[in-house]
Amino acid sequence: MSMTVFLSTLQYFAVGRDIEADTYEPHDRLVILFSLVITLLGTGIIYFVCISPLNIFDKT
């Protein structure tokens, strides 16, 4: 957990420096990949919610 926070902090400051230097350009492939992953995850969650029974607390 602390390793994730450490790496995220390093990434945050690296991107901040790039933005200040006006050289920040995200990679197109990564942006598209993460967008697709989030879209598929959201679609899966919506599908799961839609197919689940509405009476989940019914004991019959």
State pLDDT tens for residues 2-36: 777 888 888 889 888 888 888 767 778 888 888 99
Query: What pLDDT, on a 0 to 100 scale, did the predictor assign at position 60?
Result: 59
> How many domains, in total, are found in the chain?
1
- Predicted TM-score of the model (pTM): 0.48
Query: What pLDDT, on a 0 to 100 scale, did the predictor assign at position 40?
Result: 93
Instruction: Answer yes or no: is 42 within a domain.
Output: yes
Instruction: Answer yes or no: is 16 within a domain.
Output: no
Instruction: Answer yes or no: is 14 within a domain.
Output: no
Instruction: Answer yes or no: is 1 within a domain.
Output: no
Q: Which domain holds residue 47?
A: 25-60
Q: How far apart are CA 18 and CA 28, in angstroms?
A: 17
Exposed e or buried b per residue across 40-60, where buried means at least 16 C-beta atoms within 10 angstroms of its C-beta: eeeeeeeeeeeeeeeeeeeee
